[in-house]
Structure formats: C-alpha cells, structure tokens
Amino acid sequence: MIVSRAWRGKRFAVLGLARSGAATVRALLAGGAEVLAWDDAKDKRDAVIADARDLLDEQLFVDDFTDWQEIEADGLVFSPGVPLNRHPLATVARETGVPIIGDIELFAQARGELPAHKVVGITGTNGKSTTTALIHHILETAGVPARLGGNIGLPILGQEPLPEGGVYVLELSSYQIDLTQSLDCEVAVLLNITPDHLDRYDGFGAYAASKARLFAMQSKGHAAIIGIGDEASQGVAKQVARSGRAEDVTKIAPGFCMDQSRWPALQGPHNAQNALAAIAACEALGVDQASIDRGLASFPGLPHRMERVATRNGVLFVNDSKATNAESTAPALSAYPRVHWILGGKAKTADLDACRSGFPHIVRAYTIGEATEMFAEILKDAMPVERSGTLAQAVRAAAANAVAGETVLLSPACASFDQFRDYEHRGDQFRAAVEALS
C-alpha cells in the first residue's frame, strides 16, 4: 500500500468505510497514525476492524463521532460519497480549522516518499472513465509502469507503489477534487462541464469551479489539456492561460474529424474527443506515436460504456448501461447509423432534449422501468415506440425487429434503481438477455 511517514503520531477521523474509506484506514494505520473510523453500516465497520488485526489495531477506534461539536483530530477524512455541503461535521471542521480531506489528498501527501513518478489527473462530467482507462492502456502498451485509481479501479492508497518512472492515472470526480488541496498533476485533463450533481453545489458555477481547481493545484510548466466544447470549459481554459500558463494549455476542440475505423471500442464523436485528450496526455508524458497508435487500436473499452456485447445475425448488441442521463446517452445514439434504442428506468429529468440530435438514427425505441410511459409519450411523435416495461422484453422485441447492419443499444438515460441494484447489474442483465436469445 501507499503510506507516508508524515502521518505518524497524528490522529485522523475517517467517515465512510466503503472501498476508498477502508483502504484509507489501512494506509493511515500502516503509516503510524491513530484512526477514529465510522460508517453507519455495521458490516463496513466490522470489515475494517477485521482488516486491522494484522496492523496496529490498537491505534484504531471505531465509534460514532458524527455528533461532535469540535473535531478532535488533525484531519477529517471524508469518503467522496459524504455530502461536503450538507454534513454537519463539515461545518464544525471549518469553524475549528480542521482540514477536510480525502484519500487523493493523502496520496498527494505521500508522493514525496514514492519512487520518482508522474501523475495524470482526469476530470469532466462525461467521458472521464473511458479517457482514464484509455490513457492507462496506452501507457501499458508502451511498456510504462502505470496504476489506475481514483474514481475507477482500486483505491489508490491500497495499491503497491510504482517503480521509478511509473505513472499514476487518476480519474477524479468533483467530489474528490473538493477534498484535495495539494495534488500537483504533471498532466491534468478536463473533458467537459455540463450540469450534474447540482444538489452538492451552490449552482452550476460552483460545480465548474470545483473542476477548475485541478489546474489551480498544478505548477507552471505542467500540461493542462482542456476540451473546449462547452462554455464553462472554455472559461477554465482562459483562466489557466491568463494565470501565466498559456504555454501549458492544449485545447481539444469538438467536431475534429479523424479516422476511428481502426478503434472498435472508440466509436462516436464523443470518443473522438476522448481519444484526442488521451493522445495529448500521452504525448505530454513522452510516449512514442507508434505505441499510442497500438493502444488506440487494442483498447477493449469499459464494461457498460458502449460495450460491444455480441453480434447475432449481423445485428450488433451494445451495452451502454452507464449512461444514466440524457447527456451521456446522446453520444451513443450518434455513434451508430441505425439504432434500436432501449431506454428508461428511474428518470433524473422529465426530458430527453439532449438526445434529439441522435433521433434520426433511431429505427425504434423500447421504453422500460418507471419511465416507460413518460418516455413513450415524449418520443411517440418522433419515432416508433414499444412500451416493453422490462429489459428482458425489450431485448427480445428489439432482436426480433432488428436486421443485419443495425444496432440494439441499451443506453437508458436513467438511473437503474427502480429495477436493478446499480447500472452494473442492469448491464449484466442486458448481457444475460442477449445470451438467452435463440
């Protein structure tokens, strides 16, 4: 795991003991810190206690500290899922001057004791998982030691340190950036900023400002790669340039035409932008063009994000279950010329306006879940619609209607919690339904 001697003798309060929280507790204990840990879920508390037995478990205290009126610690470590803007402890910490941090900040504190390395940080409302995984894949293709972490893969503190010359590739949500003060990325990437997670921010401007902090933490001379397809991201690019770092900025413009035919897992205009950002990041790291080309061609894609599940009788079946809002569904609709679109679930909004540019590609729509009727009403004048209700029925109907050369696409534009545990469960059920076709 990754630890720091700077933690020795200090006391940290860790709130939230899911994967990143549990890895944080383990790393802090191994670094010689005293840790007070809490999660409302008893199974998570029990797992942390069991995991600490082979470490300095006498330095671990599991107790509910959420009603503290004063923070009795050197740092309050929030898991990203804890709402920083609403949790009472955040207010107490600010009033008493106790730092509120996350596992990425602890990683930043430990960097000085790691073998010489570089860090790539990737953020954005949409596309950051694909771009992060693509950069990591290209680095591995080029023979560069790399670790994947942050909002994707394993918690970064729980991974083994890289040898000298390695690169840590971190997907960073706005929540994680909010909990980070000193992460100086050699390469920082912003893909886009569109309205999202506004329940955690005082308006869209505050959300955009959170993303921009990734560049504010950088030193001059470190690469800033910024997509400029939206007004907010354009503003960030101007802000970075005006801070005396104009030479550091690489702008990724939308609509750039490029041959994506050799990249089966990177179809659609959104993936053209993701690929351009990854290329720029790898070039900034010194990766040769031949390795970049090989990495783009061999990238397998991510599960549940425009994942090619099967081809049956010439019909391609694509699992895009991770598309939980209209903005993230829109690129998939534009990526294929003739689409049988399966959509629905627990709707986040009552419109699909962001998807309208892809409507000419849709042969027929199949609505499911809580949004079955609402989405059918929205779409009925624009295309043929079947009210399937369930995912399994939608797959059967789409498979029966589709002909060779067409695509059956699950891209729900909805959360999954009406019928599934999460988007991964929904995607797995889509795959199972495709495999069950005769």
Residue 48, classed as helix, strand or coil, is helix
In whole angstroms, what is the distance from residue 215 CA to residue 223 CA? 9
222 an active-site residue?
no
| List 85, 197, 348, 380, catalytic entry | 197
Rounded (to 5) percent helix, strand, coil in the chain: 45, 20, 35
Of 151, 192, 274, 325, the active-site residue reads: 151
Q: What are 46's two structure tokens?
A: 């029990």
For residue 26, CA distances in Å to 49, 81, 88, 166, 245 come to 10, 19, 25, 23, 38
CA 21 to chain CA centroid, nearest Å:
17
Identify the active-site residue in 128, 136, 270, 340. 128
Q: Which helix (H) or strand (E) holds 213?
A: helix 204-216
151 noted as active-site residue: yes
Measured CA to CA, the distance from residue 40 to residue 64 in angstroms comes to 8
The number of beta carbons lying within 10 Å of the beta carbon of residue 121 is 29
The Cβ-side half-sphere exposure at 47, using a 13 Å CA radius, reads 13
Q: In a 10 Å sphere around its CB, with 0-12 CB exposed, 13-18 middle and 19+ buried, how is residue 338 labelled?
A: middle
Assigned token pair, 26: 């383990």
197 classed as catalytic: yes
**Which residue type, as a one-letter code, is found at position 274?**
N
Q: Provide the residue type at 227 as one letter.
A: G
Catalytic residues: 128, 151, 197
